[in-house]
Amino acid sequence: MTYLILAGGLSHERDVSLRSGRRCADALRAAGHDVEVCDADSSLLARLSETPYDAVLIALHGGAGEDGALRQVLELTGVPYVGSTPDACRAAWDKPTAKATAVAAGLSTPESVTLPHATFRELGATAVLDRIVAHLGLPLMVKPARGGSALGCTAVDKPDELPAAMVQCFSYGEAALIEQLVVGTEVAVTVLDGAGATGDGGARALPAVEVHALSGVYDYTARYTAGQTEYFAPARLSSAVAAEVSRVAVAAHQALGLRDLSRADLIVDASGVVQLLEVNVAPGMTETSLLPMAVEADGLELGAVLGELLERAARR
């Protein structure tokens, strides 16, 4: 079989995507698979028409890989791919929608407010921000309602820090999600359907990866610069809490209707409650990314896991 990895794209996360694509290609080739890598550009559809790829692995991040649009185009071409369907991607990509879905499924997530840029212009930014602080309190996390890699995200401890945080957020999107900043142990939990498990297609969680950013904030620099973050895989959690973060990640995966793989970002707060922050449908695969760490912590090989996912996609 011949597989195609899509990496690059035109989002703010292009460089991360290229690194993910190279890592996936190296892992798959080491496992004996025939793999090609290409960008998602104007030559893609012609390439898919000319070459009978058995399945596609999407290593694109940001909107290009996670908002469902590219997957919709792949379905139009009839080429099978690893990952969630377009509708499920759209639900997970929009953080407010994903949070509402999680709450409906009985999961906990930090209380938040989501407003478009226009609301602040029309009603007055100061007046709206004052109401938000009065309702949610401090500290807060400001983030784009859609986006990844913590781009445009800012932790806010004081009211006078909010305006700059909003400007930063709106440079990456038209709507801002402002949520209570939960202090606790930050973990990421990868969920796989079937791969590396029983092979029956059932979703299961890999060991949680604990994230400790030396700067105090797990931002873009902390995520992709070696030495800026300490990782513990598996996470330093009690058996009961480890079981709970796994349960929450799988529940979120299923509630959003996701397929094949996802990664849930979670916070275990001071009282032991697991709070869901967001769910990623195209997790990073770089040298400092969390999914490969979880795969290794589970005693698996990344190439074997990705190969199994591609093989199952090819059979759809």
Annotated catalytic sites, by residue?
Answer: 13, 149, 224, 263, 265, 278, 280, 284
- Return d(Cα 284, Cα 281) in angstroms, integer: 10
Asked whether 282 and 24 are in contact (CB, 8 A), the reply is no
Cα 154 to Cα 6, 84, 227: the distances in Å are 30, 29, 21
- Return d(Cα 300, Cα 107) in angstroms, integer: 29
Half-sphere exposure of 154 (CA within 13 A, CB side): 18
- Return d(Cα 48, Cα 44) in angstroms, integer: 6
Residue 140 backbone phi and psi in degrees, to 5: -130, 160
Asked whether 93 and 37 are in contact (CB, 8 A), the reply is no
Selection from 92, 86, 83 nearest residue 316 by Cα: 83
Q: Which 3 state secondary structure label does DSSP give 58?
A: strand
Asked whether 269 and 183 are in contact (CB, 8 A), the reply is yes
Selection from 48, 17, 55, 13 nearest residue 34 by Cα: 55
Residues paired with residue 213 on neighbouring β-strands, in sequence order: 229
Selection from 311, 269, 263, 309 nearest residue 289 by Cα: 263
DSSP-derived letter for residue 214 is T
- Residue 128, classified by CB atoms within 10 Å of its CB into exposed (0-12), middle (13-18) or buried (19+), is middle
Q: Which 3 state secondary structure label does DSSP give 74?
A: helix
DSSP-derived letter for residue 94 is B
